[in-house]
Amino acid sequence: MSLKGYVRQLRPITEKYIPPVDRVQNLLSEAMDVTTDNASITELFPALAFNNKFRPSNVEDFKKFLYKLGDLKRGSKKTFVNDSNRQAGVELINKLPTMEDRFVKSKIENAIGITNYLYDIDSGKKIKNVIWGYREKPSGIPKSHAGDIFIFFQNREKLGISLKAGTVTSKEPLLNSYVKTQLGYIGKSDALKPMENELWDAVYSKIPNIETVATKNNYASGDRKITKNIRELYLQFHIENETQSNELYTKMVLIQRQHFCKALNTLKIKEFKDWVFEHFNLQKPQTVPLILVKAVGKNAEQKGDDLASLLPLVTRFHAYLNKSSVQEWFIDIDTPDEQKKLKMTIRSDAGVREDKPLSKIGRLAKFSMLKLQYSGVLDR
């Protein structure tokens, strides 16, 4: 049977109406699934260890401790904002045996380093408990706060920690979002349609038989059936012609970088500075302070970023592509005394493999939800 026939066969007989807003949210949720487990291990597990007065020595030791926690009540309950977050924690721990061993080992090693960092803080300033900022923020924490976990000290002070994991030389993203999301945040949602039109002409229309399941007007609508059918065709195309598929991905990233830079460059200086201030994880003065902690293996330490101190002084900015990179772009910023640039990327956060669920494959399957990231200030 042809692929087209299989697509017909997979279509449900009846369709339940899903409002457009929910369709967009469904796509966003799918895009976030891949990174959620990565982050949750390094965020939740150190909080559970500290709140239960446990100090892990190695990965297996940590896993045995986690498996004994059961329903995460008693000493663990104070780790969570609400019961739905507690249940998410239970599900994550239960999922550990099904995850790739190498992945689990790496992330739990990071969790050990972060746990030790919490104990180091506690030795100088006593901690009452540590709360996981999973979907909601704890009481007394602004909803927009960029912290991943929150320390509540015995003297009633609070501290938010943004957690990153990487290598000694890696630059972890201090903004970790999506192209479509950030177009909205800079007030340029009207730039989305022209970008999607060009993506159709240069990229999606090249997928064999796509005209049987979608059109230029509806391919990026968020309709679940259309999205699923496009992903099926794309996966088959990638398997049969990976070289051409990779070429289309390169064009996709180029188009999204070009359109975002163009939209960003239309902002006034105040609008640009407001966007950076609100959406980049800056260590800025605020009611609940924020620090950035980076884990490398079993070690974790606080890191700083110069952008928070530079931003009020910025008098000019300009976004442009790094022509020697497939995914990088820069934002030049000028102050009266310095000229710097912000290192930015737009890329897929997932690959394309036949053994992955359709909702988990990346690249063209992400549409306008490619990752948009900021990873630091560079000299110019």
In the predicted model, what is the mean pLDDT of residues 32-44?
Answer: 72
pLDDT for 138:
97
Asked whether residue 15 carries a pLDDT value surpassing 50, the answer given is no
The pLDDT, as a whole number, for residue 303 is 84
Both tokens of residue 58?
A: 């190695």
The domain segmentation of the chain, as residue ranges, is 3-21+175-281+306-379, 35-165
Pairing of strands 149-153, 127-132: antiparallel
Q: Is 153 exposed, middle or buried (0-12, 13-18, 19+ CB in 10 A)?
A: middle
Q: What are phi and psi of 308, to 5 degrees?
A: -60, -40
Q: Summarize the confidence of residues 256-277 as an average pLDDT.
A: 97
The per-residue pLDDT for 170 is 78
User: What CA–CA distances, in Å, run from 166 to 39, 77, 294, 301, 307?
Assistant: 12, 29, 7, 12, 20
Confidence of residue 19 (pLDDT cuts 50, 70, 90): very low
HEC secondary structure over the chain = CCHHHHHHHHCCCCCCCCCHHHHHHHHHHHHHHHHHHHHHHHHHHHHHHHHCCCCCCCHHHHHHHHHCCCCCCHHHHHHCCCHHHHHHHHHHHHHHHHCCHHHHHHHHHHHHHHHHHHHHHHHHCCEEEEEECCCCCCCCCCCCCCCCEEEEECCCCEEEEEEEECCCCCCCCCEEEEHHHHHHHCCCHHHHHHHHHHHHHHCHHHCCCHHHCCCCCCCCCCCHHHHHHHHHHHHHHHHHCHHHHHHHHHHHHHHHHHHHHHHHCCCCHHHHHHHHHHHCCCCCCCCCCEEEEEEECCEEEEECCCHHHHHHHCCEEEEEECCCCCCEEEEEEECCCCEEEEEEEEECCCCCCCCCCHHHCCHHHHCCCCEEEEEEEEEC
Return d(Cα 78, Cα 199) in angstroms, integer: 47
pLDDT at 108 over 90: yes
- Residue 282: the pLDDT is 84
Confidence of residue 281 (pLDDT cuts 50, 70, 90): confident
The count of C-alpha atoms lying within 13 angstroms of the C-alpha of 282, restricted to the half-sphere facing its C-beta, is 19
Taking alpha carbons only, the member of 166, 378, 178 closest to residue 292 is 166
pTM (2 decimals)? 0.70
Region of poorest pLDDT, from 14-18, 58-62, 337-341 = 14-18
Crossing angle for the helix pair 242-264 and 192-202, to the nearest 10 degrees: 160
Which value, to the nearest 10 degrees, does the dihedral of the CA atoms of residues 201, 204, 206, 211 take?
A: -100
Asked whether the predicted pLDDT for residue 221 surpasses 50, the reply is: yes
Region 306-325: mean pLDDT is: 95
Predicted local distance difference test score (pLDDT) of residue 36? 62
Give per-residue pLDDT as tens, 134-152: 989 999 999 989 899 999 9
pLDDT at 228: 97
**At residue 28, does pLDDT exceed 60?**
no
DSSP state of 134: S
How do residues 223-258 score in pLDDT, each as one tens digit? 999 999 999 999 999 999 999 999 999 999 999 999
Backbone region of residue 50 per phi and psi (left: phi > 0; alpha: psi in -120 to 50; beta: other values): alpha
pLDDT at 305: 75
